[in-house]
Structure 1
Amino acid sequence: MFDQLTVFRMAESMARHAGQRTALAARNLANADTPGYRAQALPSFADLADEGALSEPGMRTTRTGHIAGSGATALARIERAEAQTSPNGNSVSIEEEMVRAVDAEREHGRALTVYRHSMQVLRTVIGS
């Protein structure tokens, strides 16, 4: 029932996006010493919402050639070109990844706050 309300779908999408950002930051940190590993990031939730990528149901791809011809939208992991590489070709910055993980945690907290307040409004309207 609640999944039909836009505010709940938005909160769910925001929480899911924060989880994906946290997982990607963890993967980047795990590969901090892997030669040739390129750090990746997801576009911000606001950018995805502006593009309409979050409102369209359907499959998403991580690479442009993946599932060709299906009309899937790209929730692409982008390589950060501005990152400096170490002598072994690795572009992971531990400090940047820690900041990204904290940003993802804040985004997740924001999604939970939106969900809680929306539930509170519903309870008030219903009268229970």
Structure 2
Amino acid sequence: MFQNLDLFKTAMSMARHAGLKQALTSQNVANADTPGYRTQSVKPFAELVPPESDGFALRATRPAHLAPFSDVDSAKVISAANSEPNGNSVVLENEILSSVDAKRQHDRALAVYRASLGMLRSALSKQ
């Protein structure tokens, strides 16, 4: 029953993705005045997780049956085109919004983890 806890893996992957997004955002801000610098970002987390057809997770009948969803390690870093007068593509307003989004994503991942841990504790205490 407790051998495969995908919810914990998903929460961990979401937190890692948020950390990577925050790191790239801070790198973009640090290079805001660097001529020719191109901003970097990652794909949204939702694009890294394959959609379920009917809302239910598929059940694997053997270990190699289903491939796991993409983790942060395979997240593609996307570079933006240069658009500012100095050949730099950093827009500080966008970076601030990206930073806030990464914080919210990380908080959401921690909330999912805490709720899952609470449910697991509750299930184990009833036995």
TM-score by length of 2: 0.77
Shift of 1:114: 0.4
Percent identity at matched positions?
A: 47
1:115 aligns with 2:103: no
1:98 maps to what in 2? Answer: 96
CA distance 1:120–1:39, shift in 2 (3 Å): same
2:13 maps to what in 1? Answer: 13
CA-based RMSD of the aligned residues comes to: 2.5
5+ long unaligned stretches in structure 1: 61-73
Shift of 1:79: 1.6
Of structures 1 and 2, the larger Rg is shown by: 2
Question: Aligned partners of 1:75 and 1:15: how far apart in 2?
Answer: 13
Question: Aligned partners of 2:42 and 2:5: how far apart in 1?
Answer: 26
Counterpart amino acid of residue 49 in structure 1: V
**Conserved in 2, the CA contact under 8 Å of 1:18 and 1:105?**
yes
Shift of 1:54: 6.5
Q: Equivalent residues in 2 for 1:66-81 (5 A)?
A: 74-81=74-81
Question: Aligned partners of 2:123 and 2:16: how far apart in 1?
Answer: 27
1:55 aligns with 2:69: yes
5+ long unaligned stretches in structure 2: 52-66
Runs of 4+ in 1 over 4 A off after TM superposition: none
1:19-69 Cα offsets, whole Å, 9 max, x none, are 000000000000000000011110000011138x96257x95xxxxxxxxx
